[in-house]
Chains A and B, each alone.
Chain A
């Protein structure tokens, strides 16, 4: 059985580095992107099981990424976790997007994010279940 693929998006490499290690040791496959634009391209290409994205990034923010995915007929079902140091600014906007399942405030515990990933993938009815 192939491992669920988690796309980790942040312009700060240390965040994606920490998250990649945590996600991989939890038995998932990790893929990283530095901004929303790159993440969208990768999502189209690789169809990840779940996306964990930062909010504030160059070229395309996390919320714009979620919006664009939501508009896509196939990518709209991929759950998105938004990580942010200023999530309070967009909490209302994010609440309107059905694919944003959770906003996690920075600084966060990688372990607890992995726990949320497990919960979300486990509850996914599309058949993509954790290995």
Chain B
């Protein structure tokens, strides 16, 4: 197959006309009958001569001969005058020609010259003089020129058409690249399930940018109702958005392409339109909401299936993402529930430490934030706080709840709890990060702690943090072996032990904490305790 079938619309390439001029040829655009469509492209005097009735008659005669030919041929109608025709095509019909005209010396003696000058009221000597400057061709030269110009015409026509085709490919490829890049980037960021809104934003903004929508709204629906988040460069007001959503809810789209609904906007001045598109966000039969977009810019603001297919892909990604978010949240709640159950089991065993784990978790998280930990790290510290004493499950109740002083042997059993806790938890991959806090929270900064006698920075920071929080809470509450100490005494003790028992930086961070929430927790735990004892 050739790309060069007779074109629907095929003008003579402008570059060919320019090249003819460079070769010293004059050009003229004619209709299919050889009648001029424009002024000849020639010096003024020659143009006037060519416009004479006699000269024009030569061309109409030639056009009549060309009309019977598939490809019009170059001819020498008069000695020393060559006409090279190039056909123009519209809707596959020949509509005219651009002719290039060249002259040789013989034209100066031609019997065409005098009558055409008389007919055009031109001075023969002046025309002859100007024509002489253009009369550079001879027979052999004209034959070569004829072949060369025909090749040039074919090549330039093909090249023009191929350039258009390449333009089409380029545009499509550009769109495909944009779409693939968008999908790859979004695919990569699908992992950020702990921050769903940032992924939703990324999807909406990619849609707005790649498909040139002025506004994109993501409507999320759950058991608590609807929430609409708006993105893009155009910010709709609540009224505009409300009308749009009400119309979508009425369920009567103007058109449907696949599962994309399309709504026309009648008011041309509206920022909503010209069309509003809507695609549901669904996954495994569950509906999460919908993406709505409008205000499309660009050369063609009407919605095409190029866009609706992108909508389908993106809402598909979004559906899978939201399903993962739900599953992840469910899993997280199960996990946290298990952790709380474990710490509850410990609380049930030792009523004196009831609420201790929660309070240590709260204080440890506060210290971590004060030390500049990010959200994830702070949450991890919290979890380590909840679990730090879990090993006490393995310590006999008789020891754990013994009032008064412990024997060395009993204290030896208590001191095993960090290692027991480590043993209990080490098989749970998602708790790997909190293990150092469980194992080392009884180490001391000066190296006199247990179980490993680590000192200074060798003690994991997580454990140094829990160490301060744990000691503070132990001193601030009633235990089997002591009554709670007044706040100022406890704080003075923390200050005093900074640098020996505690990492000074951690102790300092602790001393800046606001303890009002802690006090509220103490009160809550005390009242729960009273309630369970009464029961």
Binding site for B on A (CB under 8 A): 11-15, 17, 20, 24, 30-32, 34-35, 37-38, 41, 58-59, 84-89, 105-107
Cβ of A85 and Cβ of B255 under 8 Å apart? Answer: no
Bound together, the chains give a CA A107 to CA B179 distance in angstroms of 12
Cβ of B5 and Cβ of A32 under 8 Å apart? Answer: yes
Cβ of A88 and Cβ of B255 under 8 Å apart? Answer: yes
Cβ of B165 and Cβ of A14 under 8 Å apart? Answer: yes
Surface stretch bound by A, among B79-87, B121-129, B303-311, B346-354:
B303-311
Interface string of B206-229 (1 = CB under 8 A from A): 000000000000000000000000
Bound together, the chains give a CA A14 to CA B165 distance in angstroms of 5
> What are 7 of the A-B contact pairs (CB < 8 Å)?
A13-B3, A14-B166, A17-B3, A20-B1, A31-B1, A35-B8, A59-B8
Within the complex, what minimum Cβ distance (angstroms) separates B165 from chain A? 4
Majority secondary structure, B binding face: mixed
* Chain B residues with CB under 8 A of A17: 3, 165, 169
Cβ of A37 and Cβ of B255 under 8 Å apart? Answer: no
In the complex, residue of chain A having the shortest beta-carbon distance to the beta carbon of B255:
A88
Category for how many chain B residues contact A? 20 to 34
User: Does B91 count as interface, using CB distance less than 8 angstroms?
Assistant: yes
* Chain A residues with CB under 8 A of B176: 107
In the complex, residue of chain B having the shortest beta-carbon distance to the beta carbon of A42:
B5
Bound together, the chains give a CA A58 to CA B8 distance in angstroms of 9
* Chain B residues with CB under 8 A of A106: 304-306
Surface stretch bound by A, among B94-102, B182-190, B256-264, B498-506:
B256-264
- Given A41-B92, A87-B257, A88-B256, 16 other A-B contacts at CB below 8 A? A13-B164, A13-B168, A14-B165, A17-B3, A17-B165, A20-B1, A32-B5, A34-B5, A38-B91, A84-B305, A86-B305, A88-B257, A105-B257, A105-B305, A107-B176, A107-B305
Bound together, the chains give a CA A88 to CA B176 distance in angstroms of 22
User: Does B161 count as interface, using CB distance less than 8 angstroms?
Assistant: yes
Cβ of B8 and Cβ of A38 under 8 Å apart? Answer: yes
Within the complex, what minimum Cβ distance (angstroms) separates A30 from chain B? 6
Interface residues of B in 144-172 (CB under 8 A from A): 161, 164-166, 168-169, 172
Bound together, the chains give a CA A82 to CA B176 distance in angstroms of 22
* Chain B residues with CB under 8 A of A41: 92
**The residue from A31, A34, A84, A88 contacting B7, defined by CB atoms under 8 A apart:** A34
Bound together, the chains give a CA A31 to CA B169 distance in angstroms of 20
